[in-house]
Amino acid sequence: MTCHESALTRVYRFSNLKSIVLLSICLFALVSITHAAEPVSLKESDNEKWYQGNLHTHSLWSDGDDYLEMIADWYKTHGYDFLSFTDHNVLPTSERWTVPEKNKGKLHAYEELKKRFPDWVEERKNKEGQTEVRLRTFEEVAEKLGEPGKYLLIQSEEVTDRYKNMPVHMNATNLHSLLTPLGGTSVYDVMQNNTNALLAQRERTGQSMMIHLNHPNFHYGVTAEELMKVVGENFFEVYNGHPGVNNKGDEIYPSTDRIWDIILTKRLAELKLPMMYGLATDDGHNYHKIPSRASEPGRGWVVVLSKALEPEALVDAMEAGRFYASSGVKLKSITYSDQGIQVEIDPEEGVEYTTDFIGTLEGYPKEGMPKLDKQGQELHSTKRYSKKIGATLKTVKGTSASYDFNGKEIYVRALVRSSKLHPNPSEITDVESAWVQPTPGPAAPKQ
């Protein structure tokens, strides 16, 4: 087996260790933007543009409270370039009718729908004499609101699985057909099984698609140690806009930022697995009272440098790490080279910016301490690791920030925080931020 044999998708066929290891090597070659002799500068040019999109959205097809077309319209009128619909374990492809009074959007959503799209709503009476509305399919909504090169809708799914009482939710972006949650014998196994199913569908259809782990701290379902081992899954949500997903963790459970650093360190230095990239998403469910403390749109997104506003190009760009995640901060450019990282911020007037360069240097203590409950039993939590993992290596104020490698870095990433509070945050104290994707440093073992 070689990289040319589409190793990315072979994991479901070959489960022996040799194949997995080779797969990892090939994956790394595919997804890594670094170790390049030439600097890689992510900025707009004649060939490439930054595209803003949200990869996590719920509608009346599952537990959201609005119609697909209204949600698509919200994102379109708020400056987004693309949007993925990710309802729980369903693709919006079938004929489905709903009684407005009984669905999550109630009569209000129905009245708003009729106001916005008066000649488009399909109604009928059911046997009880109640009005039913047909939920429009993905295809219909994409045709109505999508505009080539301007606004793209992507068919996706939140593969909503669990192990015992631990939720394991994974978003499958640009799916061809439904993925049924496969379950498994552990949290890790659930993730690996669903990842393998997506890779198999990708191989079978030839369609570009990707999978990412959602909100690891939702009910603290997924630990860093579990996620870091998954092969073929190179993305997770470092920021999810739902107020109930504990991005910041608590006194026992680490934040998603901390989880990311532990994963990056272990994947690169110990597991010889590819980089994992961080996403910001909305996970919107509630569309009728913005802002409030529910799960609303507009909180977190990705900005992808892509050749085209098409699912294939966007997935390819994200797999190559050519994007950043944001909850409000805009970037002009990111440059990766064998010298270091440079970030240029697109500033907002009156706002100040602080950039932390975060990474792990070689020689860090590898062992983690299990977390115990009051009875001394081990908790299902990420272990406690040395502060040398994910250390802040440099802090820069201003709109231009750079970090020069000293030779010892396993990886470095940048987190830009603004002085501006998020206007409608996931958690009350959130400031607008941007997460720059990590790059392997000079001390990253060669894959």
- List of residues contacting Zn ion (CB under 5 A): 158, 169, 214, 283
Q: How far is CA 261 from CA 52, 54, 224, 291, 300, in A?
A: 25, 23, 9, 31, 20
* Nearer to Zn ion among residue 66 and residue 158 (C-beta): 158
> Residue 58 CB, nearest distance to Zn ion (Å)?
6
185/28 Cα distance (integer angstroms):
27
Instruction: Please report, to the nearest 10 degrees, the dihedral formed by the alpha carbons of residues 331, 336, 341, 345 taken in order.
Output: -10
CB of 396 to Zn ion, least distance (A): 34
Nearer to Zn ion, 214 or 286 (CB): 214
Nearer Cβ to Zn ion, position 171 or 265? 171
| Residue 215: CB minimum distance to Zn ion, A | 6
Contacts with 418 (C-beta within 8 Å, 6 or more apart), sequence order:
328, 329, 348, 351, 352, 353, 354, 431, 432, 433
- Nearer to Zn ion by Cβ, of 217 and 265: the residue is 217
d(CA 85, CA 284): 10
Least distance (Å) from Zn ion to the CB of residue 166?
12
Nearer to Zn ion, 258 or 285 (CB): 285
**Which of residues 155 and 214 has its CB atom nearest to Zn ion in the complex?**
214
Contact 148, 81 (CB under 8 A): no
**Cα gap 159→233, rounded to integer Å:** 14
Q: Which of residues 54 and 103 has its CB atom nearest to Zn ion in the complex? A: 54
CA 240 to chain centre: 8
Name the residue with the smallest CB distance to Zn ion: 169
Give the neighbor-by-neighbor strand order of the sheet with 277-281: 157-163, 166-173, 210-213, 235-240, 277-281
Edge-to-edge, what's the strand order for the sheet holding 123-125?
A: 96-98, 131-135, 123-125
Task: In angstroms, give the least distance from the CB of 423 to Zn ion.
Answer: 22
Query: Which amino acid, one-letter code, is at 227?
Result: L
CB of 169 to Zn ion, least distance (A): 3
Min dist CB 126 to Zn ion, Å, is 29
Q: Residue 138 in contact with residue 85, Cβ under 8 Å?
A: yes
